[in-house]
Amino acid sequence: MLQEINDHVSKGAFKKVAESRPSASVVVRPEEQPIGLESTIEKVWHCIVDKDVGIIGLYGLGGVGKTTLLTQINNKFSTTADKFDVVIWALVSKDYNVEKIQDKMGGNIGFRDTSWKSKSVDEKAVDIYGVLRNKRFVVLLDDLWERVCGEMEARKRIKVECLEPEKAWELFQAKVGDETLNSHPNI
């Protein structure tokens, strides 16, 4: 066997020894224009690529654009090569349930059968850890409350603020459209 390998090496002209790492497996989500969120998106992205940050918590009032921001971040991974192996999106909701989050994470990394779904929370945690421990990964949890950011021991907490009035008006115009805005003189 070793002789075969040596024969191949002596005959070959290897221009490329390894392929570059493919971009992370990402489910691209439908996105909206992030009006007024651009600087926050860049701030969050900078934290994500900083290897020392770890857990980042985003919080803010309902409707300020946290989901829009996370969607932009999620989709950015689809065009970013060699940074992360796995990107997982999970909707948490107000009454967050660890097992539901684990099921979503497990589904993203290949645990889909009924035997896995019947495992305990601790067993699922071990399985998830076993897959992710040697990977660079991102878990995007949407609809978290500020209290949960504290419970997660987020190293960086970023508040998504309400838009400035001029950006809010720009967003309103984009949502409503010119036809509606021009349809009545009092608008």
Total of domains in the chain? 1
Domain housing 155: 33-161
Q: Is residue 69 included in any domain, yes or no?
A: yes
Q: What is the CATH number of the domain that holds 133?
A: 3.40.50.300
Task: Check whether 53 has a pLDDT greater than 80.
Answer: no
Cα distance from N-terminal residue to C-terminal residue, the chain: 80
Residue 22 pLDDT level (bands cut at 50, 70, 90) = very low
Whether 55 is covered by a domain: the verdict is: yes
Paired tokens of 6:
């040596």
The number of helices, as runs of H, and strands, as runs of E, in the chain is: 9, 4
- What DSSP character marks residue 114? H
**Structure confidence at residue 21 as a pLDDT band (50, 70, 90):** very low
pTM higher than 0.75: no
Residue 126 has what pLDDT? Answer: 94
What tens digit of pLDDT does each residue of 115-154 get?
A: 988 999 999 999 999 999 988 888 888 877 666 666 777 7
Alpha-carbon gap, residue 116 to 103, rounded angstroms:
9
Rg (C-alpha) for the chain, rounded Å, is 22
Do 48 and 109 touch, CB atoms closer than 8 A?
no
Residue 78: inside a domain: yes
Q: pLDDT tens-digit profile of 86-122?
A: 888 888 777 778 888 888 889 888 898 889 889 999 9
Res. 168: pLDDT tops 70: yes
Q: Which residue has the higher pLDDT, 9 or 105?
A: 105
Q: How far is CA 107 from CA 43, 112, 113, 127, in A?
A: 29, 5, 9, 12
Give 166's pLDDT tier (boundaries 50, 70, 90).
very high
- Tell me whether residue 44 is in a domain: yes
> For the chain, what is the mean pLDDT?
81
